[in-house]
Amino acid sequence: MKLLVVKRTFILFLGIIILALFLVTVDFTFGPIASTFKNSMEYQKAERQPLKKYSALQGEFEFYLPMDWTTMEETFSGGEIIYNIFFVSKDKKIHGFVQVWDINKPLKQFIDESKQAAVGVIDFKYYRVKEVTINNNKGYLLDYSRKDNNDKYIKSYETFVEGANGRIYRASFFVEEQNWKQNYLILFNRITRSFVIKK
């Protein structure tokens, strides 16, 4: 009788071990596949998210933002920022703005001076600048992470596009690093690629 109980216990214990090994194998084998599938679905969602058209400066500048984002236009004194609209994503994780600047200096000089002014004031984890072309207009992509007042790092993407007559078109995109998702890049690129500069 004791031998029968020991055999049953051994078989039960062996079955649990085999089941545990199977589940671990399934997780290692199918975990990356499931993760890739989930990422693919998120990318597709970002690519298909409905956008709303915005027009500024009597139709001289047009762009698109996701339809379900909250936006607010604000006017600045001083004359350099001639158009500004803030945006916040529906889940409140993405913040940023689209601006038009009216300044009389080359775009590269403007970016270099902005970085120099921030050094020593802002704590950057990294700061990268890359030349880009947006709809046949020369521009720069800034990719950096900076510490905020709560000691959290904010991942930032900013595109500056050079227009005519000293105008600079800017899209800025900010997300706490802990909330960052790679598919946000699709939304950022969709916004910047939607820029239509008519003058």
Would you state the pLDDT for residue 15? 61
The SS3 assignment for 64 reads strand
Q: Is residue 187 a contact partner of residue 179, using CB atoms and an 8 Å limit?
A: no
Mean pLDDT of the chain: 83
Nearest residue to 86 via CA among 78, 96, 76, 94:
96
pLDDT of residue 55: 94
pLDDT at 12: 59
Q: How confident is the model at residue 85 (pLDDT cuts 50, 70, 90)?
A: very high
- What DSSP character marks residue 119? B
CATH topology of domain 51-197: Protein Transport Mog1p; Chain A (3.40.1000)
pLDDT, tens only, 153-191: 999 999 999 988 889 999 999 999 999 998 899 889 999
DSSP character at residue 74: -
pLDDT band at 87 (very low <50, low <70, confident <90, very high): very high
CA-to-CA distance for 91 and 108, rounded, in angstroms? 34
Cβ atoms of 103 and 186 within 8 Å: the answer is: no
**132-163 per-position pLDDT tens digit:** 998 889 999 999 999 988 889 999 999 999 98
Q: Are 100 and 81 in contact (CB under 8 A)?
A: yes
Domain positions in the chain: 1-48, 51-197
Q: How far is Cα 106 from Cα 111, in angstroms, rounded to an integer?
A: 9
Q: What is the pLDDT of residue 22?
A: 56
| CA 71 to centroid of chain Cα atoms | 17
Within 13 A of 132's CA, how many CA atoms are on the CB side? 19
